[in-house]
Amino acid sequence: MSLLNIKDLSLSIAGVEILHNVSIDMQPGEIVAITGESGSGKSLTALATMALLPRGAVVKGQIFLDKNDILTTSELELCAIRGRKIGMVFQEPMTALNPVKTIGSQVAETIIIHEKVSKTEANKRATDMLRRVGLEVSPLRYPHELSGGQRQRVVIAMAIVLRPKLLIADEPTTALDVTTQARILELLKDLVVSFDMGLLIITHDLAVVAEIADKIVVMQNGQIVEAEKTEELLSNMKHPYTRALFNASTHRVVMPEAISSETLLSVDSVVRTYTLPRNKILGSRPNFNALDNVNFRIGHGERVGLVGESGCGKSTLTRAILGVEDVQSGQITLDGESVFSGNKPNLDVRRKMQVVFQDPYSSFNPRHRVDRLIAEPLHVLENPPVGELKDLAVLKALEDVGLMGSDAKKFIHEFSGGQRQRIAIARALIIEPELIIFDEAVSALDVSVRAQVLDLIAELCHKRPLAYLFISHDLSVVRTVTDRVMIMRAGKIVEHGETEKVFTNPQNAYTKTLIAAAPRLPEITYAIEPV
């Protein structure tokens, strides 16, 4: 008997059809992956299965969990089903956790709601489950005290503490570094075997899909275009959209040859230490070395990658380079000028640098139009252009990233994720900086949009001698868009060199671990047809 049987599911919101005749059959102990581009209907299918759809949604079809039709079940009964029979791991764990409650109490709360047990018993079971998911920290810790991977384990513990028959994981590895991602995937596979539960995983990472799933469901524009067992689908992709997705996952861009030039950015013996809270009431406050004697150079027009696990010091280094945060010792210079002048950022240097963030939407003011958003960096210039000159600068920046002049009068919510990232790059380019820092700039994008953004970066490098520091946990992306790569661990650069040499012949044990942990697509031998 099927564990989950979705039959001819159709969904519309405000008269707009979102899902059309979606059918998925899933057995106990089976891992089914739903993949596709953003907006394909993956997450709404999961939310429909949980009966957590927005108001006004019109649903047709059937969703059977065991013998229960979720769509005809009362809300009171659904409250008993959610958590006990079906659990869900949401994409962003920080938003799924209560910031003012300890992680142990949040896991225990799930038990108390569904079972008549004492608070002491619930806390004990919660602590045991946190250990079961590999979280060796105190249950008295708060979410903000944990790393991204640790928070993800807490959310998983909350979802499985009552051993549900079905677990839904919505992008559980997005924005996680490769080693944490590998541990989370191994954990999910282990839980499926141990609890004999079904796992419905939603992800745009096709390497993850190929590695973990028993069956793959490919969605496009709210419809299933292909659904087969993993081995069968990978060896015989029938739909052009499926082939296009997998082709985009292995997309390599053509970069201009690296040029030898004088040093642009110099980081010399940089140390950044933070003072941590006391472990004891009368004890001394321990120190944490976020950056420990970091040294490297970036030349004019050079593309350098920075890779490492969460917490290794990448973000601290970024803030230090941008002059947002001072360092205790060492020096950071751009074109021979220090990024700090006294105790303040050197604005003359800051004008020569820009940053592109991971989530473009959160880095823009949604109330402002695109022309104003792109023009924001102009205020750091000594003589910023005004009037027609300003409009021309905005137009040029938009055209440089493949957008139209008419887009200048639109709001940011009117664009897709890939277009928003293009706008973020346009904003970075408008003052023609000497150095751009890409901070996880493609990690949250689906494979096809990611390929487009990488093509754009390559195109810009062909047009101008663009120097950038590309920070990412996606090793395949770093490999294709950088000349050199640095591997960072615990605040230190443990290995650096030409990108291809580091990837093909790593010298440091940690580098070898990172490369081994990265999920890989199997060799696909079909001839890719034009789409």
Strand (E) positions, 286-357? 287-299, 303-307, 329-334, 337-338, 340-341, 344-345, 353-356
CB half-sphere exposure, 105, CA atoms < 13 A = 9
pLDDT of 94: 78
How do the pLDDT tens digits run along the chain, 531 residues long? 789 999 999 999 988 899 999 999 999 999 999 999 888 899 899 999 999 988 889 999 999 998 889 999 999 999 889 989 999 998 778 788 999 999 999 999 999 999 999 999 999 999 999 988 888 888 998 998 887 778 888 999 999 999 999 999 988 887 678 888 888 888 889 989 988 899 999 988 888 889 899 999 999 999 999 999 999 999 889 999 999 998 888 888 888 887 767 899 999 999 999 887 777 777 788 888 889 999 999 999 999 999 988 778 888 899 899 988 888 899 999 999 999 877 788 888 988 999 998 777 778 999 999 999 999 999 888 888 999 999 999 999 999 888 888 999 999 988 877 788 889 999 999 999 999 999 888 877 788 888 888 999 999 888 888 899 999 888 888 999 999 999 999 899 999 999 999 999 999 999 999 999 888 887 765 544 544
The letter for the amino acid at 254 is V
> Rounded to the nearest 10 degrees, how much is the dihedral formed by the CA atoms of 81, 87, 90, 93?
110
Considering the domain delimited by 4-249, tell me its CATH architecture.
3-Layer(aba) Sandwich (3.40)
| Cβ contacts of 92 within 8 Å, gap of 6 or more | none
Strand (E) positions, 27-82? 31-35, 57-65, 68-69
For 226, the token pair is 């292909």
Do domains 4-249 and 263-277+285-517 share one topology? The answer is yes
pLDDT of 124: 94
Q: Kindly report the CA angle at 161 between 79 and 103, in degrees rounded to 5?
A: 95
pLDDT of 288: 82
CA-to-CA distance for 198 and 196, rounded, in angstroms? 7
pLDDT of 526: 52
CA-to-CA distance for 119 and 454, rounded, in angstroms? 52
pLDDT of 530: 45
Strand (E) positions, 416-491? 435-439, 467-471, 484-489
Residue ranges covered by each domain of the chain: 4-249, 263-277+285-517
CA-to-CA distance for 227 and 224, rounded, in angstroms? 7
pLDDT of 32: 96
* CA distances (Å), origin 157, targets 108, 190, 307, 470, 493: 10, 13, 29, 34, 34
Q: Which fold has domain 263-277+285-517?
A: Rossmann fold (3.40.50)
pLDDT of 524: 65
| Cβ contacts of 387 within 8 Å, gap of 6 or more | none
CA-to-CA distance for 312 and 425, rounded, in angstroms? 26
If we measure between CA atoms, which residue out of 94, 134, 468, 147 comes closest to residue 313?
Answer: 147
